[in-house]
Structure 1
Amino acid sequence: MTSDTSHTDETSSSNVTQSPIPPSQRPPRDDDDARLLSRLGYAQELLRAMGGFSSFAISFSIISILTGVMTTYGVALGGGGPAALGYGWPIVSIGTLIVAMAMGELASAFPTAGALYHWSALLGGPGWGWFTAMMNLAGQCAIVAAIDLGCAQAIAGTLHLPSSAHVPLLIAILTSHGLINAFSVKLVAWLNNFSATVHVVGVIVIVGVLLLWGRAEPLAFLGQTGFTTREDGNYGFGFLNALVLGMWTFTGYDASAHVSEETHDPARRAPWGIVSSVAVSAIAGYALVAALTLAIVDLPATAGDKEPALHVLRHAFGERAGNATMGLAVIAMWFCGLSSVTSASRMLFAFCRDGGLPGASVLRRVSPSHQTPLFAILASTLGPLTLVLITLPFSDAVFLAVASLATTGLYLSYAMPIALGVHARAVGKWRHRGPWNLGRLGIPLALGAVLWSLAVLVICCLPPNWNAAVMLASVVVVILVLYFAFARGRFAGPKVTIVGIESQFSD
Structure 2
Amino acid sequence: MPDPTLTGRTRRTEHAPPVALDDDATLHAMGYPRKLTRRFRAFDNFAISFTIINIISGIFSAFGMGMAGGGPRILIFGWIGVSVMVLFIGAAMGEIASAYPTSGALYFSAGKLARRHSGAWSWYTGWLNFIGQVAGTAATDYAAATFIQSYIAMQWDYTPTLRKTVLITAAVLLVHALLNTYTVRLVAVINRISVWWLIVGLLVIVISLVSVPSHHQHAGYAFHYANTTGFHSAVYAGLLGLLVTSWTFTGFDGSFHMSEETVQATVNAPKGIVRAIGYSALTGLILMVALVYSIRDYAAEVSSAAPPVQILLDALGQGLSKAILVIIIGSMLFCGLANMTSNTRMIFAFSRDGAMPGSRLWHSVSPRTRTPVKAVWLAAASSLVLVLPGWWSHTAFSAVVSVNVVGLFLSYGIPIFLRLRLKDEFQAGPWHLGRWSRPVGVVAVLWIITSNVLFMLPQATPITASTFNYAPIALAVVLVIATLWWFATARKSFHGPVSYGGPDEVAAMDLV
SS in structure 2 opposite 1:392? helix
Q: CA deviation at 1:218?
A: 2.7
- Residue 423 of structure 2 corresponds to 425
Amino acid at match of 1:39: A
Kindly provide the CA deviation profile for residues 19-72 of structure 1, in whole angstroms up to 9, marking residues without a partner as x.
xxxxxxxxxx8xx21111000110110011011111111111111111111111
- Deviation at 1:168? 4.6
Tell me the secondary structure at the aligned position of residue 483 of structure 1: helix
Partner of 1:135: 128
Deviations 1:99-129 (A, max 9, x none): 0000000000100000001011111211110
- Equivalents in 2 of 1:298, 1:392: separation in Å? 29
Show the counterpart of 2:317. Answer: 318
Equivalent residue, structure 1, for 2:69 = 79
1:40 aligns with 2:33: no
Q: Give the AA of the match of 2:434.
A: G
| Unaligned 5+ runs, structure 2 | 1-13, 461-468, 504-512
Counterpart of 1:116 in structure 2: which amino acid?
L
Q: Contact between 2:194 and 2:334, CA under 8 Å: does it hold in 1? A: yes
CA contact 2:49–2:255 (8 Å) conserved in 1: yes
Q: Decide whether the 8 Å contact of 1:41 with 1:494 is kept in 2.
A: no
Greater Cα offset, 462-471 or 175-184: 462-471
Q: Does 1:453 align with 2:448?
A: yes
Q: Tell whether the 8 Å contact from 1:183 to 1:372 is kept in structure 2 after alignment.
A: no
Q: Distance in 2 between matches of 1:219 and 1:487?
A: 59
Distance apart, 1:286 and its partner CA: 0.7
Note closer, same or farther for the CA distance 1:279–1:66 as it changes in structure 2 (3 Å cut).
same
Q: Which residue of 1 aligns with 2:390?
A: 392
Question: Is the partner of 2:212 in helix, strand or coil?
Answer: helix
Structure 1 pair 394–463 and aligned structure 2 pair: CA distance change class (3 A): closer
Q: Is the contact between residue 18 and residue 429 of structure 2 (CA under 8 Å) also seen in structure 1?
A: no
Give the corresponding residue for 1:476. Answer: 479
Kept after mapping to 2: 8 A contact 1:171/1:385: yes
8 Å CA contact 1:47–1:185 kept in 2: the answer is no
CA distance in 1 between counterparts of 2:416 and 2:218 reads: 41
Give, as a single letter, the amino acid of the residue that structure 1 aligns with 2:483: L
Cα distance in 1 for partners of 2:181, 2:164 equals 26
Alignment of 1:59-74 (within 5 A): 59-74=49-64
Inter-CA distance 470–167: structure 2 relative to 1 (3 Å threshold): closer
> Could you tell me whether the CA contact under 8 Å between 2:64 and 2:302 is conserved in 1?
yes
Instruction: Give 1:35's aligned amino acid.
Output: A
Aligned-pair RMSD on alpha carbons? 2.3
1:416-436 deviation digits (Å, cap 9, x = unpaired): 11101111235x3x2x21111
Q: Is contact 2:82–2:246 with CA below 8 Å preserved after alignment? A: yes
For 1:287 and 1:450, how far apart are their aligned partners in 2? 28
Aligned to 2:493: 490
Partner of 1:340: 339
Partner of 1:216: 216
Confirm or deny: 8 A CA contact 1:98 1:448 kept in the other structure. Answer: yes
The counterpart of 1:415, out of the listed 413, 416, 436, is: 413
CA distance in 2, matches of 1:57, 1:128: 30
SS at match of 1:401: helix
TM-score by length of 2: 0.87
Match of 1:51 in 2: 41
Partners of 1:59 and 1:5 lie apart in 2 by: 25
Instruction: Tell me if the contact between 1:45 and 1:371 (Cα under 8 Å) persists in the aligned partners.
Output: yes
Q: 1:162-311 maps to which residues of 2 (within 5 A)?
A: 163=161, 165-214=164-213, 215-225=215-225, 227-311=226-310
Question: How far, CA to CA, are the matches of 1:404 and 1:290 in structure 2?
Answer: 25
Cα distance, 1:317 vs structure 2: 1.0
Aligned to 1:104: 94
Preserved contact between residue 62 and residue 252 of structure 1 (Cα < 8 Å): yes
Which residue does 1:441 correspond to in 2?
436
Query: Runs ≥4 in structure 1, deviation > 6 angstroms?
Result: 4-7
Given that residues 90 and 274 in structure 2 are in contact (C-alpha distance below 8 angstroms), is that contact kept between their aligned partners in structure 1? yes
Per-residue CA deviation, residues 134-163 of structure 1 (Å, 9 max, x unaligned), is: 011111111111211222232233223564
| 1:152 counterpart residue number | 145
Task: Note the C-alpha offset of 1:346.
Answer: 0.2
**How many residue pairs align between the two structures?**
469
Q: How does 1:361-376 map to 2 (within 5 A)?
A: 361-376=360-375
Q: Distance in 1 between matches of 2:316 and 2:390?
A: 34
- For residue 493 of structure 1, give the secondary structure of its aligned residue in structure 2: coil
